[in-house]
Amino acid sequence: MNNYWKKSCILLTLSALALGQVGCATPTTDASRTQKGAVMGGVGGAIVGGLLGGKKGNAGKGALIGGLLGAATGGAVGNYMDKQAQELAQVAQVERVEDGIVATMKDKILFDTNESTLKPESKASLGKIAEVLKKYDKTEVTVAGYTDNVGTMSHNQQLSERRANAVRLFLSNQGVAPSRMTVMGFGPDNPVAPNTTAEGRSQNRRVELHIAPNEQLLKDSQQGQG
């Protein structure tokens, strides 16, 4: 088991212990997220994480997203997340995965090569992302940093963590509550493109925001307030 899945399993275990329930969802291909949410809510709820694969053949996509979906809550949660995804799509590459969102920011925009200091020109887009996150405040956000495979594993791991921390700090300074955000670095794990070409490596150097409904949104949905 690679480091990514070890970390994902730890997150799932902690989430399950905190919520007192254990369950999982299997990867699925694209479809109506509102429909998926309703189906998932109708089958009794689950800890959604680890196996949330929004894209066929890429089960790791959305792996940091977790949430407790109770009966009849999924449709409302899906609508809430759909609206947020539409607004985030104006400034980032967005993918809906079940009742979560993965927003990807390329580091060629955010960072210079081998650096973790945000480029000045990246701050306008990140500022817009912060505004959306503040508007849809019933979510939890995991800021995940990744690198290509050039250099040592140790260096890339630390670089991915520093980049994720830089994004989290900026979002926090823009008013996104720090308590909503968790930072994780994955180094070169889970590449989205081959590392054999310069173009592929540039795609793998990225920061992702894994956005999931929080406990309050789920409670509100159960009460018909979502």
CATH for 159: 3.30.1330.60
* Residue 44 backbone zone (phi > 0: left; psi -120 to 50: alpha; other: beta): left
Q: What pLDDT is recorded for position 74? A: 59
Q: What pLDDT is recorded for position 225? A: 56
What pTM did the predictor assign? 0.70
Q: pLDDT tens digits, residue range 126-175? A: 999 999 999 999 999 999 999 999 999 999 999 999 999 999 999 999 99
* Domain tally, the chain: 1
The answer to whether the CB of 74 falls within 8 A of the CB of 37 is yes
DSSP, collapsed to helix, strand or coil, labels residue 122 as helix
Tell me which residues of the chain have a pLDDT lower than 50: 1-63, 66-73
Give the C-alpha separation, 65 to 56, whole Å.
17
* Residue 113 backbone zone (phi > 0: left; psi -120 to 50: alpha; other: beta): beta
Q: What pLDDT is recorded for position 224? A: 67
Q: For residue 85, what are the contacts with CB-CB under 8 A and spacing of at least 6?
A: 94, 96, 101
Token output for 61: 């996509």
- Please give the share of the chain, as a percent, with pLDDT higher than 90: 46
Q: For residue 74, what are the contacts with CB-CB under 8 A and spacing of at least 6?
A: 36, 37, 38, 39, 40, 41, 42, 99, 221
Residue 120's domain comprises: 3-222
Sign of torsion, CA 163 175 75 8? positive
Residue 40's nearest CA partner among 15, 17, 65 is: 65
Phi/psi for 184 (5° steps) reads: -140, 140
Q: What pLDDT is recorded for position 132? A: 97
